Amino acid sequence: MPLVKLKAQPTCRFRGAALALALAATLPAASCAPRAPSPITAPETPPARPAPSRAPNRSPPSAPPAPAPPLRPAVCGPAAGDPASAANALSLNTLAWAPFRRPETGWETYAPLIGQEIGSPCAPDTPGFAAALSAWQDAQGLPGGGRMSEAAFQRMKARWQDQRPFVRAAHGACPAPPAETTLAPARISESYLGKPVVMRPAVLAAYRRLAAAARQDLLVRADPRNLTIFSAYRSPQADAERCRLERNCDGVGRATCSPHRTGLALDLFVGAAPGFGPDSSAEANRRFQSKTAVYRWLVRNAGRFGFSNYPFEPWHWEWTGEAP
């Protein structure tokens, strides 16, 4: 049972309801929330807080950040080249589990984050990946011998979630939103399909540093939609209205207390599988996104600019440089 289930917290619901009641009569309806998808934005945390393998990035550099450190050189070897990698090759697309409460098949979607965590550039079904995972498991005091396991994933997830200021703050209560007059608009060219988006000024500055660096990569630059912002700040009132209309703020379909209320969260275009939107939480879409050059660039580099990913959503990134 996670420590924090914001959507189930009476505090959040009470605050959201009170705000909605207090402001409904005075505020115009906001339309900053995308309507089609029902992504899981739950800031879930695991039941324990194990020591992170690296110190969380809580003070991102202002600019310019140092280059990403090289991943350890490795001889990756052939797919399924030893027993551990053979087991990983099998579970990669067959493991039946629900790491974010929604049933999933396999862990391929999370392979880039896992590879970054264990410091391996190898494909997840290779002996090189298994060797790096085994070393990580040993350092964490976990069994496995290089075989990916739910226990290893939960340990990693705890670390990833703890990097998000929203999750840390939300251990107490749902954060209050910033004053909307303090938020900064992105340029039309920076947003997806020209949609108006606003966020905290420091987030916009950090985003611009990240995007400029990313576009030096030819594969990222190949699609001009890459890294455009399709959602940033969303008012609690607008989210509450979506909850009311779509009746899916049940803790799985959508969070009642969304990180987007903080002005620190960005949804970035990282590709979309044919037939899906860029924020579709369908497994096929998320698996597709995990393989795009732009997502993999973000996994490798976004931390240098102070951004951390919500692992269930390849498109959702939160800036870690300010408290919610």
Shortest distance (Å) from residue 116 CB to Zn ion: 20
Shortest distance (Å) from residue 288 CB to Zn ion: 18
CB of 127 or CB of 253, closer to Zn ion: 253
- Residue 296 contacts Zn ion per CB under 5 A: no
CB of 296 or CB of 316, closer to Zn ion: 316
Shortest distance (Å) from residue 313 CB to Zn ion: 6
Stretch that binds Zn ion, among 29-37, 124-132, 245-253, 309-317 (CB under 5 A): 309-317
The helix-helix angle for 111-118 and 150-162 (nearest 10°) equals 80
- Residue 261 contacts Zn ion per CB under 5 A: no
- Residue 147 contacts Zn ion per CB under 5 A: no
User: Which positions ≥6 away from 73 have C-beta within 8 Å?
Assistant: none
CB of 297 or CB of 317, closer to Zn ion: 317
Shortest distance (Å) from residue 265 CB to Zn ion: 5
Stretch that binds Zn ion, among 154-162, 183-191, 208-216, 315-323 (CB under 5 A): 315-323
Tokens of 69: 């450190």
- Residue 287 contacts Zn ion per CB under 5 A: no
- Residue 239 contacts Zn ion per CB under 5 A: no
Stretch that binds Zn ion, among 53-61, 176-184, 246-254, 312-320 (CB under 5 A): 312-320
According to CB under 5 A, which one of 316, 319, 321, 324 is a site residue for Zn ion?
316
According to CB under 5 A, which one of 267, 281, 289, 292 is a site residue for Zn ion?
267
What residue ranges bind Zn ion (CB under 5 A)? 267, 316
